[in-house]
Amino acid sequence: MTHIIEAMARRCRAALLAACALPAAAMAAPEAFWGLVGKLAAAAPQGGQAVVRQWPGRPFPLLRGADAGSAPLALAPDLQTSIAEMRLAEGDAVQLMVLKVQGGCITPDELIGRYARVENADFPQPENPDPVRYRVVHLDGVRVSFGFLGGGPGCLAHVVFNPRGR
């Protein structure tokens, strides 16, 4: 009987240690992240200035015909994001915007649990040793592509906003 109790205690300790060592993938993405994605999708068709007004971090300059980007912004203790690139056309129109995600791990399952219609949009990447898998949703007429790294749990690496909805 003592051996059984000791074995159960070892298993409980092992399970507790394993739970403490869970990757960030086990934590749900903060509501602030999903809210920011929605705000940026709504602002992108209105132009670069509208995006800057929705960005909760330090304002950043926009130059016509040039790419723009922001400083990193902490959305949670383990999750940072930044506008890695925003391509502007004449007249302040956003052609494409890329949101970089770092820190915590947002998984494809979280995305599927968040939005009703999620499409796969993978494409061949033969030269990429760590291919990215894309999942697409349409928000306010904007095509929003979520890029998940191919290895491990498939953590979100970036979000691409295409106001033209293609």
83-99 pLDDT per residue, tens: 888 888 878 888 889 99
- Answer yes or no: is 20 within a domain: no
- Answer yes or no: is 45 within a domain: yes
| Parent domain of 52 | 26-162
Q: If you search the block for the tokens 């399970």, which residue do you land on?
A: 15
Cα–Cα distance, 150 to 166 (Å, whole number):
23
pTM: 0.76
pLDDT of 128 over the 80 cut: no
When divided into structural domains, the chain yields a total of 1
Chain centre to alpha carbon of residue 97: 13
| pLDDT bucket at 43, cuts 50 / 70 / 90 | very high
- Answer yes or no: is 8 within a domain: no
Give the model's pLDDT for residue 165. 66
Token pair recorded at residue 132? 């990215």
- Answer yes or no: is 9 within a domain: no
- Answer yes or no: is 5 within a domain: no
- Answer yes or no: is 17 within a domain: no
- Answer yes or no: is 147 within a domain: yes
- Answer yes or no: is 13 within a domain: no
